[in-house]
Amino acid sequence: MEKTDLRVPALAATVRPLTPRQRTARAARNGGRPTLEFTERVPYDTYVHASTLHTLQQPLSGDPGEMSFLMVSQIMELYFGLTCHELREAQRLLRADRVWDALAPLRRTALHLEGLNAAWQSLRWMTPADFNRFRDLLGEGSGFQSAKYRELEFLLGLRNPALIRPFRRQTEVYAQLRAALDAPSVWDDVLALLGRHGFDLPADLLDRDVTVEHESHPLVESAWVRIYADAGPDNHLRLLGEALTTVAEQFGDWRYQHLKAVQRAMGAKVGSGGSAGLTWLRRSMERVVFPELWSARTAM
């Protein structure tokens, strides 16, 4: 039996739907002007919860620049969650062999990552002097501790079980991360799809321990070379490869812009969360998302 989403009835009880005919009648009564009187909470706020969102910015200092840093961090968290949502939808469709349908959430994923990348522009003003005015108040708080970013990495196939340890005392968050780590990544689902489509992939690759990060395999690379050899419009696997490549590219851009933002705001100082800062970020960037999609291009 399909599990019912219990959030839907609660939302439907507060946001009253309108039909096209009702909207037309409302516009006629208003003479084309927007409705200004409501018997309850403004419908927009009921749906978006904007009044709640705008109470979540609680700076620790009196420095006006801290609000930018805090709010951009929160915007990125929302984008992390949205990107995870889209990737899970893509996985659901890939597991059902609905390759064409999976292209839509993957393309949305790439666009969300574009928005995520654009958020860095709001922090380009920050020099070390600007950051130092409130940095000490952050204590050991660091973006490294973002659970939703870690979940995004797991979905993209970047696996390191040790990185969920900071969340052990947040039992619900830890359980979500453990579940994401134990489940196949998007790339694992793509490999399973290729196997079902007749590509010669070894059983020990398809049945491997998914908690361990995937290592590039020559037979996967060969499969993509064969897929790209057919440039016809009905080759949905080739379109899938391009959609995944764009996702990987945008995610790589985010990691690079993260490194540049850190370099701009604090140079090579030790990270707030105890890491080596720039050195740690450079090392993490060496782990490639969807590796055979890139290496196969040499043989095409």
Place of tokens 């062999």: 97
95 is in an annotated binding site: no
271 to 63, 136, 222, 267, 287: CA distances (angstroms): 21, 11, 41, 10, 20
258 is in an annotated binding site: yes
Determine the Cα angle at 218 with ends 108 and 181, to 5°: 50
Asked if 65 and 126 count as a contact pair (C-beta separation under 8 A), the reply is yes
According to DSSP H, which parts of 96-162 are helical? 99-119, 128-135, 147-155
138 vs 46: CA distance, rounded Å: 33
288 vs 249: CA distance, rounded Å: 10
Decide: helix, strand or coil at residue 132. Answer: helix
63 to 60, 129, 283: CA distances (angstroms): 9, 12, 33
194 to 107, 165, 176, 208, 278: CA distances (angstroms): 20, 33, 28, 15, 37
CB half-sphere exposure, 239, CA atoms < 13 A: 14
- Residue 151, judged by CB atoms within 10 A of its CB (0-12, 13-18, 19+), counts as buried
Positive or negative: CA dihedral 266, 269, 273, 278: positive
Annotated binding site for heme: 258
Annotated binding site for substrate: 135
Annotated binding site: 135, 258
